[in-house]
Amino acid sequence: MKVLSKIYMALIFALLYAPIIVLVLFSFNRAGSFTNYSGFSFYWYRELFRDSTAIDALKNSLILAVSSAAAATLIGTLAAYGISRMKNKYVKAAVKSVTNIPMMNPDIVTGVSMMLLFAAASSIPFLVVEMGFWTMLIAHITFNLPYVILSVLPKFSQMDKHLTEAALDLGCTPSQTFLKVELPFIMPGVISGFMLGFTLSLDDFVISHFVSSSDFKTLPLYVYNQTAHEVKFSMYALCALMVFAILILMIVVNFVGGGKTDGKVKKKKKKTA
C-alpha cells in the first residue's frame, strides 16, 4: 500500500510536470525539433529577442503588472483597513461578497462585462474610451483587488487591538497610529498582496483578451497570437522564460509573504478561462 501510493504520487506529478519540462528543455534545442537534439543553445532566445514586438510585449507586461499591483495594493490595503473597522456585519458581508465577485466569476464573464462597460462608456459624448493601456489597467486592478484584500484583511484581525489603543492613548492621531503601528504589522500581508497582484497581472490572458487592442499587447496576448497557427520554438523560449519568472516570484512570495494568509489566498485562486 505504502509503495503503491508512492508510485501513484510520483506518476501523477511526473505527468503534471512532463509537458512543462519538455517545453523548457527543447527551448534550448538549436535544431528546433523534437526528433534531433543538436545540443544546448540560446538560439531561440536570441531569435525571440530579435523580434521587437516581443520586447515591447515584455515591457508592456511589466509596466502593467507593476502599476496595477501597486494601485490595487494601495486601494485594497485602505479598503481592508476600512472593512476591519466596520461595525455593521451585514454591510461588511455585503462588501466582502461584492469584492469577491471577480474571483468567483469565470474570467471570460469578467472580461466580457468590462468590454461592455467600456463600449457603453465610449458612447457618452466627449468621453474617449479606446481599448489599450488604460482599459487593461482598470481591468487588472479590478481582478487584483480581491486578492490584495484577502491577504491584508486577516492581518488586521490577527492584530492585538490593545496595540492601537495604546498608541492612541499615548497621543497618536488615528493616521499616525495607522502609519506607525498598524502598517508595520500588516506589512507582510501588504507585500504578499502586491506580489500576488503582480503575478496575476503578468499571467492574465482571458480578461486582457477582451479589453485590449493591437497597440498594447502583453506577453500572454503575444503568445496567444503567435501560437495561432504553428509551433514556433521561439515561443517555447518565451514560455520557458515566463516559467522561470513565475518560479522566482513564487520563491519570493513564499519567503517574504510567509504566514498563513498566503495559503488562504492561494487556495482561493484563481484566474481561469
Partner 1 sequence: MKKKSFLEKAAAVPHFVWMILFIVAPLLFVIYFAFTDSNGAFTFDNILNLSSYGDIFLMSVLFAFIATVVCLLIGYPLAFFMSRLKPSAQKVFVLLLMLPMWISLLIRTYSLLAMLDNGGLLNSLLNAIGLPTVKIVGTRGAVILGMVYDFLPYMVLPIYTTLSKLDVRYFEAAEDLGCSSVMTVFKVALPLSKSGIISGITMVFVPSISTFYISQKLGGGRFDLIGDTIERQFLMNNNKNVGAAISLVMMILILISVAVMNRFGDDDGGELIV
Distance of CA 188 to the CA centre of its chain: 17
CB of residue 96 vs partner 1: minimum separation in angstroms? Answer: 11
Q: Can you list the alpha helix ranges (DSSP code H) found in 42-88?
A: 43-50, 52-84
Q: Which of 70, 132, 224, 252 binds partner 1 (CB under 8 A)?
A: 224
Contacting partner 1 (CB under 8 A), which of 28, 156, 198, 210? 210
Distance CA 266, CA 124 (A): 39
Nearer to partner 1, 153 or 188 (CB): 153
Q: Residue 150 has which C-alpha cell?
A: 484577502
Please answer whether residues 209 and 135 qualify as being in contact, where contact means their C-beta atoms are separated by less than 8 angstroms. no
Q: Minimum distance from CB of 52 to partner 1 (Å)?
A: 22
- Beta carbon of residue 72, minimum distance to partner 1 (angstroms, whole number): 9
Residue from 58, 79, 150, 181 in contact with partner 1 (CB under 8 A): 79
Q: Scanning residues 117 to 146, which ones bind partner 1 (CB under 8 A)?
A: 117, 119-120, 138-139, 141-142, 145
Min dist. Cβ of residue 229 to partner 1 (A): 11
Interface segment toward partner 1; rule CB under 8 A; list 43-51, 126-134, 155-163, 222-230 = 222-230
Q: How far is CA 79 from the centre of its chain?
A: 19
| Cβ-proximal residues to 57 (8 Å cutoff; 6+ apart), any chain | 217, 218, 219, 221, 222
82-121 residues in contact with partner 1 (CB under 8 A) are 82-83, 85-86, 95, 98-99, 101-102, 104-110, 112-117, 119-120
**How many angstroms separate the Cα of 69 from the Cα of each of 74, 86, 201, 227?**
9, 25, 8, 28
C-alpha cell at 208: 486582457
How far apart CA 156 and CA 195 sit, in angstroms, is 19
* Triad 193, 198, 204: Cα angle to 5°: 120
Output 163 or 273, the one with its CB closest to partner 1: 273
Q: Tell me: does residue 197 bind partner 1 (CB under 8 A).
A: no
Stretch 151-190 residues interacting with partner 1 (CB under 8 A): 173-175, 178
Site for partner 1 in 245-264 (CB under 8 A): 246-247, 249-250, 254
Taking alpha carbons only, the member of 192, 105, 173, 174 closest to residue 143 is 105
**Restricting to residues 31-70, which ones interact with partner 1 according to CB under 8 A?**
33-35
Among the residue ranges 43-51, 52-60, 152-160, 205-213, the one whose residues contact partner 1 (CB under 8 A): 205-213
d(CA 269, CA 196): 10
Minimum CB distance to partner 1, residue 177 (Å): 9
Q: Pick from 69, 236, 261, 265 the residue near partner 1 by CB under 8 A.
A: 236
Residue 17 makes contact with partner 1 by CB under 8 A: yes
Q: Which stretch binds partner 1 (CB under 8 A): 45-53, 151-159, 184-192, 265-273?
A: 265-273
From the list 48, 71, 68, the residue with the least C-alpha distance to 58 is: 48
